[in-house]
Amino acid sequence: MALLELDDVSKAFGSLKAVDGVSFKVEAGEIFGIAGPNGSGKSTLFNIITGIPFGPDRGQIRFDGLAINGKSGHAIARLGLARTFQRETSFDGLT
């Protein structure tokens, strides 16, 4: 059983298809990359997978065998699937 599985996942914003029919499986311990030019839907795909701030319009996402479509980002994170953002300065200062 795959740790993460996407089956025919899509997301549109009006007439713009940001992600269209994406399917893949990631096995436990596997290193898997997503590559593409700016505007190709990489960030939208990660948003869909993590439920932050939205899920897919169509398709199925399973994490560790559990369907996570429609779950909140918090609920998905509690299952062990989370993301981080690439920021050079996340904090103005620390004490």
Over 70: is that where the pLDDT of 27 sits?
Answer: yes
Confidence of residue 90 (pLDDT cuts 50, 70, 90): low
Domain for residue 46, yes or no? yes
Domain for residue 40, yes or no? yes
Which CATH number characterizes residue 63's domain? 3.40.50.300
Domain for residue 87, yes or no? no
Report the percent of the chain where pLDDT is more than 90. 85
Over 80: is that where the pLDDT of 93 sits?
Answer: no
Domain for residue 84, yes or no? no
Domain for residue 50, yes or no? yes
Domain for residue 86, yes or no? no
How many independent structural domains does the chain possess?
Answer: 1
The H-or-E segment that residue 69 falls in is none
Domain for residue 89, yes or no? no
Domain that holds residue 9: 4-78
Note the pLDDT of residue 89: 66
Note the pLDDT of residue 95: 73
* Beta strands per DSSP E along the chain: 4-13, 16-26, 58-63, 66-67
Over 80: is that where the pLDDT of 49 sits?
Answer: yes
Domain for residue 64, yes or no? yes
